[in-house]
């Protein structure tokens, strides 16, 4: 359980992030996004602000913030440029997995450097033939003395090039039944002989951050890098980490939706038709009211899921609900914002078309929304057995 951050501290932290976005991110976001440029020059400031150590315990050099504050930070960053939140998104999944399940040696070795951003983490989970079907990964890790030999490929990996440590899921017992009992999670660090970054993926949105294929060809990893030191626990470890990932993706969706709403409100008060601002037309007012209500509801669901995570209680259903609802709302609000803008919203001169292209990532990422629905239904039926 994480200690609740006071409202004053939350506001101070969020205001610092707002200033960073306004001063350093807003001036470059559109250009970097359109040209798919990685924002190297923003990393030192992100390190100084402690953004790589948001939820890492203070004893390991992090800020030890609760997940509600974590969500607010991701929301604020995503209002400015959603891609930027990707640099610390899967980083915090790795740090959470190590903080929760790692050995004391692993925590002391990894977390202080992760908190400063010296080590920048990622999640090596998805494979070309095993996206939502996580248990059917084909990457294997075979024990050889004091090392594991890893072979396989991972796909759609954020921070695949610029990250230097991964939470790597691999099968240590390919014949296990059920399959998830044969999956283990490793700390995989770069550079390692036999490892290389494969193709770089050219994406519709979420541009400016590297998304890559990872290739593992007889890579040797020390046995000390098996998270928790016990084989067969990786599936549960990573699924728990994904609960935090779903909170951050849901918070990103709220941030992008809020940015789209803000843009629609501003434009509607400037654009005139029939002798008055379009904000005075009832058709536009109805759109703005629906958009604002949906964004507010999504935000409350995200904070509820974060509070449940902070309490130490199981929150996979709440996190899935928040991710499902917020991401779908983000897609709807981005589309409505474009409708309010009319033809101007379809042009790259304004950021509205970026919000529209970024929105699908949250619907697909960290588990598709169809998977979210199945998980939610499963939990509902478990809780209401007759």
132 and 103 housed in the same domain = no
Residue 1 has pLDDT above 90, yes or no: no
pTM: 0.96
Residue 147 belongs to domain with CATH number: 2.40.110.10
The closest alpha carbon to 186, from 151, 136, 145, belongs to 151
Domain boundary among 73, 100, 116: 116
221 and 241 housed in the same domain = no
In 106-258, DSSP assigns E strands to: 121-124, 140-144, 147-158, 165-171, 183-189, 195-200, 211-222
Give the pLDDT score at 366. Answer: 93
pLDDT (mean) for 229-254: 97
Could you tell me the pLDDT band of residue 3, with boundaries at 50, 70 and 90? low
The closest alpha carbon to 207, from 1, 357, 362, 385, belongs to 357
pLDDT (mean) for 201-229: 98
Helix (H) or strand (E) holding 351, with range, is none
Known catalytic residues are: 366
Domain boundary among 72, 89, 116: 116
CA 2 – CA 5 distance, rounded (Å): 9
169 and 43 housed in the same domain = no
126 and 187 housed in the same domain = yes
Torsional sign, CA 42, 44, 49, 53: positive
Could you tell me the pLDDT band of residue 9, with boundaries at 50, 70 and 90? confident
CA distances from 373 to 141, 228, 307, 368 (A): 32, 31, 21, 9
Token pair belonging to 201? 């993926």
- The phi, psi pair for 217, rounded to 5°, reads -125, 95
Cβ atoms 21, 74 nearer than 8 A: no
CA 149 – CA 221 distance, rounded (Å): 7
Domain of 220 in residue numbering reads as 121-232
| pLDDT single digits (tens) 279-311 | 999 999 999 999 999 999 999 999 999 999 999
CA 265 – CA 259 distance, rounded (Å): 10
The closest alpha carbon to 365, from 147, 78, 79, belongs to 78
Could you tell me the pLDDT band of residue 129, with boundaries at 50, 70 and 90? confident
190 and 51 housed in the same domain = no
Q: Number of structural domains, the chain?
A: 3
**Residue 1, in any domain of the structure:** no
| pLDDT single digits (tens) 151-198 | 999 999 999 999 999 999 999 999 999 999 999 999 999 999 999 999
Domain boundary among 216, 232, 248: 232
CA 166 – CA 160 distance, rounded (Å): 9
Give the pLDDT score at 2. Answer: 60
Q: Give the percent of the chain with pLDDT over 90.
A: 94
**Residue 210, in any domain of the structure:** yes
147 and 34 housed in the same domain = no
Token pair belonging to 72? 């607010």
98 CB contacts (<8 Å, ≥6 apart)?
Answer: 106, 107, 110, 111, 114, 187, 227
73 and 147 housed in the same domain = no
β-strand partners of 142:
149
**Residue 2, in any domain of the structure:** no
The closest alpha carbon to 30, from 364, 327, 355, belongs to 355
134 and 161 housed in the same domain = yes
Q: Where are the alpha helices (DSSP H) in 64-221?
A: 67-101, 104-116
247 and 283 housed in the same domain = yes
Token pair belonging to 2? 């994480």
Residue 337 belongs to domain with CATH number: 1.20.140.10
The closest alpha carbon to 165, from 200, 192, 201, 146, belongs to 192
**Residue 100, in any domain of the structure:** yes
Q: Where are the alpha helices (DSSP H) in 102-126?
A: 104-116
Cβ atoms 148, 224 nearer than 8 A: no
Residue 16 belongs to domain with CATH number: 1.10.540.10
The closest alpha carbon to 171, from 193, 188, 149, belongs to 149
CA 144 to chain centre: 34
Could you tell me the pLDDT band of residue 130, with boundaries at 50, 70 and 90? confident
272 and 374 housed in the same domain = yes
- The phi, psi pair for 157, rounded to 5°, reads -95, 110
**Residue 312, in any domain of the structure:** yes
122 CB contacts (<8 Å, ≥6 apart)?
Answer: 90, 91, 94, 157, 158, 159, 160, 163, 165, 166, 167
**Residue 153, in any domain of the structure:** yes
Residue 3: count of CB within 10 angstroms of its CB: 10
Cis omega (within 30 of 0) for bond into 312: no
pLDDT (mean) for 333-345: 97
Could you tell me the pLDDT band of residue 5, with boundaries at 50, 70 and 90? confident
User: What's 53's DSSP letter?
Assistant: G
CA angle 156, 175, 182 (to 5 degrees): 55
296 and 332 housed in the same domain = yes
340 and 241 housed in the same domain = yes
Pairing of strands 165-171, 272-273: unpaired
Token pair belonging to 207? 């541009």
């Amino acid at each position: 359980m994480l200690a609740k951050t006071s409202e004053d501290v939350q506001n101070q932290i969020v205001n610092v992030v707002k200033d960073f976005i306004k001063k350093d991110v807003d001036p470059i976001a559109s250009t970097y996004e359109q040209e798919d440029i990685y924002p190297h020059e923003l990393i030192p400031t992100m390190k100084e602000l402690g953004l790589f150590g948001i939820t890492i315990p203070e004893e390991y050099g992090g800020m030890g913030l609760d997940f509600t504050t974590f969500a607010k930070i991701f929301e604020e960053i995503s209002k400015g440029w959603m891609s930027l939140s990707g640099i610390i998104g899967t980083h915090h999944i790795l740090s959470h997995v190590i903080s929760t399940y790692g050995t004391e040696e692993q925590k002391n070795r990894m977390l202080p450097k992760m908190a400063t951003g010296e080590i920048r983490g990622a999640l090596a989970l998805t494979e070309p033939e095993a996206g939502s079907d996580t248990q059917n990964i084909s990457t294997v890790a075979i024990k050889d003395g004091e090392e594991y030999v890893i072979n396989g490929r991972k796909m759609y990996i954020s921070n695949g090039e610029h990250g230097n440590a991964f939470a790597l899921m691999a099968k240590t017992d390919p014949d296990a039944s059920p399959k998830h009992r044969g999956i283990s999670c490793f700390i995989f660090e770069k550079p390692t002989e036999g490892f290389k970054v494969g193709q770089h993926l050219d994406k519709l949105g979420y541009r400016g951050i590297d998304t890559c294929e990872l290739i593992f060809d007889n890579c040797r990893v020390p046995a000390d890098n098996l998270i928790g030191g016990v084989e067969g626990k990786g599936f549960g470890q990573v699924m728990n980490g994904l609960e935090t990932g779903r909170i951050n993706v849901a918070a990103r969706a709220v941030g992008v939706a809020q940015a789209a709403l803000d843009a629609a409100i501003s434009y509607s008060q400037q654009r005139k038709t029939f002798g008055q601002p379009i904000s005075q037309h009832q058709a536009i007012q109805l759109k703005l009211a629906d958009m604002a209500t949906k964004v507010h509801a999504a935000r409350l669901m995200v904070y509820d899921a974060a509070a449940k995570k902070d309490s130490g209680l199981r929150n996979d259903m709440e996190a899935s609900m928040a991710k499902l609802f917020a991401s779908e709302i983000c897609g709807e609000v981005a589309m409505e914002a474009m409708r309010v803008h009319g033809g101007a919203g379809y042009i790259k001169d304004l950021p509205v078309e970026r919000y529209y292209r970024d929105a699908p990532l949250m619907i697909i990422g960290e588990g598709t929304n169809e998977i979210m629905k199945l998980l939610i239904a499963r939990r509902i039926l478990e809780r209401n057995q007759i």
